[in-house]
Amino acid sequence: MGKLAIGSHVGGDDPIAQANELGLDHVQIFLADPQGWKGSTIPHVDGAEGLRASAEAANIGIYVHARYIINVATTNNKVRIPSRKLLQTDVDAAASVGAKAVIVHGGHVTDGDDPQAGVDNWVKALAQLDMKVPVLIENTAGGKNSMARRLESIKALWGAVGDTGVGFCLDTCHAHAGGIDMGQVAETILGITGRIDLIHCNDSQGAFDSGADRHANLGEGSVGMDNIINCLKTAKAPIVLETPFDGVATDLALLRNAL
């Protein structure tokens, strides 16, 4: 197995400086308030071009996490239609900084809705999306009406969108809290999607199938380090830590030693 690229989600006004300090191969950032509907905010004094140039000079990749409020699956027009527009906004902003991909949560439908409606809405959203950079759908931890929590939901969604060019981001905390057996989680997901484009490498404060999206530093949660390391070695995908930031340096050292 070759060297796996490892990075972390970072905040602040200079993500590349943080990446250099931690020795990261790449960073994951937001380009807006993750709970807001307003336009993009580029974390660099010289804007998008400045961030892009800084990242290229340092040979550090950029991943962009789309906003949490985006839900293109819902049947609620007041959320779905703005979500489609906002996903395009985040993709456009990601392209402007030279990002490798945009990660977006799978979303959900509401009680009483046919889950197929959420699948159909994903198909429509991707059909009208100008995918200037790759878009990766991320599995989620909670909600009985989620489009990407349970294996059967992921199968249904991927059966409809898998040939659109969209990719998959596997979050280890979300999988564990979402009720997916972690013993062979990467093998299971690869069997469904045929690809894992990125790993969000997180331990879980919540118990198995708790539905709780609460990340923990590695080895301090309930996922099990053997399960996490086996997942990383099997997936062979770039890694992003989304663990509590005060423990990221320790998490990085642990991963580098294990891999």
pLDDT single digits (tens) 88-97: 999 999 999 9
- Whether the model clears a pTM of 0.85, i.e. scores above it, the answer is yes
Q: What is the residue type of 110?
A: T
20 domain-assigned: no
Q: How confident is the model over 19-36, as a mean pLDDT?
A: 97
pLDDT of residue 217: 98
pLDDT exceeding 90 applies to what percent of the chain? 97
**Structural domains counted in the chain:** 1
CATH of the domain at 158: 3.20.20.150
229 domain-assigned: yes
- How far apart are alpha carbons 222 and 207 in whole angstroms? 6
204 domain-assigned: yes
- How far apart are alpha carbons 167 and 196 in whole angstroms? 7
pLDDT of residue 3: 86
Q: Is the pLDDT of residue 59 over 80?
A: yes
pLDDT of residue 144: 87
Read off the tokens for 73: 């699956």
Q: Which domain holds residue 154?
A: 63-247
Q: How confident is the model over 57-62, as a mean pLDDT?
A: 98
pLDDT single digits (tens) 149-177: 999 999 999 999 999 999 999 999 999 99
47 domain-assigned: no
3 domain-assigned: no
pLDDT of residue 89: 98
B/e letters for 219-231, b = 16+ CB within 10 Å, e = fewer, are ebbbbbeebbbbb
103 domain-assigned: yes
Mean pLDDT computed over every residue of the chain: 97
CB 138 within 8 A of CB 106: yes
Of 73, 151, 155, 150, which is closest to residue 106 (Cα–Cα)?
73
Q: Is the pLDDT of residue 2 over 70?
A: no
Q: Is the pLDDT of residue 1 over 70?
A: no
pLDDT of residue 45: 94
CA pseudo-torsion sign 145, 225, 134, 88: positive
Q: How confident is the model over 28-53, as a mean pLDDT?
A: 96
Q: Is the pLDDT of residue 26 over 80?
A: yes
- How far apart are alpha carbons 169 and 135 in whole angstroms? 9
214 domain-assigned: yes
pLDDT of residue 133: 98
pLDDT exceeding 70 applies to what percent of the chain? 99
pLDDT of residue 97: 98
pLDDT of residue 214: 98
21 domain-assigned: no
Read off the tokens for 152: 């059967």
Question: What are the helix (H) ranges across the chain?
Answer: 15-22, 47-58, 77-96, 115-128, 151-161, 172-177, 185-193, 225-235, 248-258
pLDDT single digits (tens) 116-133: 999 999 999 999 999 999
